[in-house]
Amino acid sequence: MSRVIAVANQKGGIGKTTTAVNIAYDLADMGMKVLLIDTDGQCNSTDTCRAQVEGVATLYDLLFEQEQPEECVQHMEKLDVIASDKLLKNPEKRFPDDATRLFTMRDACEELREQYDYIVIDTPPSLGCMLSNALTFADEVVIPVTCDRYGMEGISDLYVTINATKKYTNRDLRVTGVLLNKYKERTTLCREISEALPKVLEMFHTTVFDTKIRECEDCKKAQSARMSVQEYNPKCTTAQDYWKVCEEIIGRQA
């Protein structure tokens, strides 16, 4: 039975997609069988993994056209991908207008659990039905945040959604940890937030990952090259940090 991990934060620009892709690739490099599901209509994870969108079955077809899961999985070199679709940019009206609307993704993807060690979900940068569907299907959440006040505000908003999910659709959902992203140790604000964050999150019964993701130029180059950072340059600081994060994730097995 796989661990299903949603990488979530409704605030844009915090490295959520980069985190989802690199966690998925690193887990695969560690010998795990991994599926990456891109639920964001911008298709950034899909593009980074070089998965197809046109002429293939996508997540849209799986959720709303009753396509079989195996028909939507694309087998890439190191991991499998269910691609997003531009039709998912405004999916709210496509979900059923009844009590089942938050269970659409779980019902469509449940059989995939038996086929993978890890399923990583890249979620959209917004609150809404798609994010709630991803959280209802997931076992746990990794929350990347940047070291700024706006990033902290995003956590508060996300926890309202997480707590509602735990109350109504997925009582076993847990937060694996909060991941400090684009970390610059020498900045005063970074240090202050890094030091304060554990106390803030105490009420939410979670912790901060020991590893902080330092951003380097190779991270941006890897995105342009449509590669994971580990593939582009395994010796760069960002690649080393994501590898350590995956070791922490494995170590935090419930």
CATH for 100: 3.40.50.300
Enter the pTM of the model. 0.93
The stretches of the chain forming alpha helices (DSSP H) are 16-29, 44-48, 59-64, 69-72, 104-109, 129-137, 149-168, 188-201, 217-224, 229-232, 237-251
- Distance between CA atoms of 222 and 237, rounded to whole angstroms? 13
Range of the domain at 193: 3-251
What would the pLDDT profile of 40-57 be if each residue is shown by its tens digit?
989 999 999 999 999 999
What would the pLDDT profile of 103-115 be if each residue is shown by its tens digit?
999 999 999 999 9
User: How many structural domains does the chain have?
Assistant: 1
% of the chain with per-residue pLDDT over 70: 91
Across 196-218, average pLDDT: 79
pLDDT at 106: 97
SS (H, E, C) 59-128: HHHHHHCCCCHHHHEEECCCCEEECCCHHHHCCHHHCCCCCCHHHHHHHHHHHHHHHCCEEEEECCCCCC
What would the pLDDT profile of 15-31 be if each residue is shown by its tens digit?
899 999 999 999 999 99
Residue 85 vs residues 123, 240, 246, 253: alpha-carbon distances, Å: 13, 31, 27, 32
Higher pLDDT, 239 or 154: 239
